[in-house]
Structure 1
Amino acid sequence: MAVQSGSQVSTRLSDVPIVPEIATAAIILRSLNSNAFVNSGVMIRDPEADAFLTNNLGGKTFAPRYLGPLADDEPNISSDDPSEKSTPKKITGGKNKAVRQSLNQSWSSMDLTNTYLGLDITTAITNQIGDYWNTQENKRLLASLKGIIAADLATGSPVMTVDVTGKTGADALFNAEAFIDAQTTMGDMASSLTAVAVHSTVYATMKKLNLIDFIPASEGRVEIPTYQGLTVIQDDAMTYVPAVTGDSPSPAKYYTYLFGRGAVALGVGTPKTPFAIHRDEAAGNGGGEEIVHSRLEWIIHPQGFSFGLEETPTLAQLETASNWTRQYERKRIALAALITQG
């Protein structure tokens, strides 16, 4: 029932009960439905990753095996000599290792604060948890991409990255020529690219150059920005390295990523207790406190790479070049990067 405090009434959890199972489903649905990388087809649910996270068999890493393409060797010339024997070729493969990401967050509210504000803070928190996890999902994806591109650049002969920040003027900004160069890192598979993700600063450059086209969404209510046929995703969480001044100056660097459909595998699992509300009646000198707990099991993994750690990584660990190893040949990885000054 509602709690009366003078003339003020505060809605309590008992007035608007939150069912954990329903709240969990709503949180996952909201985080996925509002994610631009999911909606654009860049990040796709992987049934094998889902199964790994929910099979109750344990395990920290997920490493499905893969077979590579057949080598493009010249075929044998047939003959009528029975002593001439052909030598069979081999098919190679490997493992594309991903790591389980076991994550949680909690938020608290004091009962007395609810009373003073006349609001149900616990319900307000619960309604925003899906958006919170959507943001964290993007941060973890972009941190992984930063690490992968750092590994590519560390080779000294990058095969996935075009960096024009060393140029001057308009040539150092996003431009059609640089974009085509980034596409071309995929060779004859460049046509498989379907989306491009940019920082709002880069998006502004594209608009000033009149490079953005808009097409109506299927519902007809929203227009989708596109560039050279690729869906444009705008996100200010995109990798950005500020300019450095002083004795060793360096320009600002904005990372733009080009993706093919399904470039990133997404697995979603269910922890033992994904959502809970804990009451601490003694908190606030007996005034009471409610703590909302949310937990997720994720795999967020760019296809074609292996991640080197065994435990849930921090963002900094995802950004570390040495933790990533490319497994697929370049053209089989639907990912490229363009680094510009804006």
Structure 2
Amino acid sequence: MTKIADVIVPEVFNPYVVQKTAELSAFAQAGVIATDPVFDKLATAGGKLINMPFWSDLTGDDEVLSDSTPLTPGKITAGQDVATLLMRGRAWKANDLATALSGSDPMVAIGDLVAAYWARQEQKTLINTLKGVFLAASMAGNKSDISGAVDPAVAEFTASTFIDAAYKLGDAESKLTAIAMHSATFASLRKQNLIDYVFDSDNKPIAVYMEKRVIVDDGMPVSGGVYSTYLFGAGAIAKGNGAAPVPTETDRDSLQGDDILINRQHFILHPRGVAFQSASVAGSSATNAELATAANWVRAYENKNIRIVEFKHLLS
């Protein structure tokens, strides 16, 4: 009988799961989530909160040069973006993995299952983060809410209202490259023949709307017929893979005859430019519900430098 401990080699399994999770993430494939060794280093630095200082843009008008009047020095100021370290884990019994254990390469089969699980969980985590971010009052400049308009046509997702939402970033609108929407929103756009398709290097179709890649997820917020659609720029979300003390281990419940696989993840999944406040985090790491809390977020960058817009609308 094949046992989990016989096929799982943590030194191989751990990086495989991290790499495969990124491959399966729709947000990562669309370029919304950016991974970088710098983020990985921050995620392993220790502590619940991760400080990411930045230099603010230079301001003030230029001055006319003069032989008698010196230039007036302006101040260079620094700001502070703050991410939170997310510490998550899950355990499975062998019965949950029985089919994978019977495969020709059980470690890869189990790794694929675990990576697919984490890709789904990270997507849930990101959506809850976006909920909290756009409930924060300081993010009003990145939000277009037309859902309360008296005229239903004005409150609906149309090409015109979408363009208005995109231009919440002003002349930085061109940085927006992807859209995440509920399947009902996607279906509405398809019925209007507004979705185009391009093909990747493997000849697989990729949905686009106004030249922006479309991500469809039914976890997108919807309440009372009001849908939230999110517009993203490339790298709007920073992803850093940390190091749990014991990322993967196996165990056995001899009395039950069950093999157990335990997988732990430490990571940051942070909307760049919106600082996490930990105002209401009760445990060692923020839960999805705490990420979705307005009090835990405050804008750190200028609005147009935050490459995310929330578009709240009705459907036609």
1:229 is displaced (CA, Å) by: 1.0
Tell me how far apart the structure 2 counterparts of residues 330 and 225 of structure 1 sit (CA, whole Å). Answer: 28
Within the candidate set 294, 309, 312, 2:263 is matched to 294
Unaligned ranges ≥5, structure 1: 3-10, 244-251
Within the candidate set 136, 155, 175, 2:121 is matched to 136
C-alpha distance 88-320 of structure 1, shift in aligned 2 (>3 A): same
Query: So what's the TM-score if we normalise by structure 2?
Result: 0.89
Q: Calculate percent identity across the aligned residue pairs.
A: 36
Unaligned ranges ≥5, structure 2: none
Within the candidate set 172, 177, 197, 1:194 is matched to 177
C-alpha distance 118-277 of structure 1, shift in aligned 2 (>3 A): closer
Flag the structure with higher helix content.
Answer: 2
SS of the residue 1:135 aligns to: helix
1:196 is displaced (CA, Å) by: 0.7
Corresponding residue of 1:41: 31
Tell me how far apart the structure 1 counterparts of residues 56 and 189 of structure 2 sit (CA, whole Å). Answer: 37
The Cα offsets for residues 254-299 of structure 1, whole Å up to 9 and x where unpaired, read as: 1101011110100012212111110121x23xxx221110001110
Query: So what's the TM-score if we normalise by structure 1?
Result: 0.83
| Preserved CA contact (<8 Å) 1:258 1:336 | yes
1:337 is displaced (CA, Å) by: 1.1
Corresponding residue of 2:141: 159
Tell me how far apart the structure 2 counterparts of residues 227 and 198 of structure 1 sit (CA, whole Å). Answer: 11
Corresponding residue of 1:6: none
Corresponding residue of 1:256: 229
SS of the residue 1:337 aligns to: strand
Within the candidate set 222, 238, 262, 1:240 is matched to 222
C-alpha distance 110-76 of structure 1, shift in aligned 2 (>3 A): closer
Give, as a single letter, the amino acid of the residue that structure 2 aligns with 1:231. R
Q: Is 2:304 the partner of 1:338? A: no
Tell me how far apart the structure 2 counterparts of residues 38 and 126 of structure 1 sit (CA, whole Å). Answer: 19
Tell me how far apart the structure 2 counterparts of residues 166 and 324 of structure 1 sit (CA, whole Å). Answer: 25
Give, as a single letter, the amino acid of the residue that structure 2 aligns with 1:176. A
| Preserved CA contact (<8 Å) 1:49 1:62 | no
The Cα offsets for residues 229-255 of structure 1, whole Å up to 9 and x where unpaired, read as: 1111111121222x2xxxxxxxx2211
SS of the residue 1:277 aligns to: strand
Q: Is 2:79 the partner of 1:91? A: no
Corresponding residue of 1:213: 196
C-alpha distance 13-136 of structure 1, shift in aligned 2 (>3 A): closer
C-alpha distance 110-144 of structure 1, shift in aligned 2 (>3 A): closer
Tell me how far apart the structure 1 counterparts of residues 100 and 234 of structure 2 sit (CA, whole Å). Answer: 47
| Preserved CA contact (<8 Å) 1:50 1:267 | yes
Give the aligned length.
Answer: 307
Q: Give the stretch that moved more between structures: 294-303 or 59-68.
A: 59-68
Within the candidate set 295, 309, 312, 1:322 is matched to 295
| Preserved CA contact (<8 Å) 1:61 1:99 | yes
Give, as a single letter, the amino acid of the residue that structure 1 aligns with 2:205. E
Tell me how far apart the structure 2 counterparts of residues 214 and 192 of structure 1 sit (CA, whole Å). Answer: 20
C-alpha distance 12-186 of structure 1, shift in aligned 2 (>3 A): same
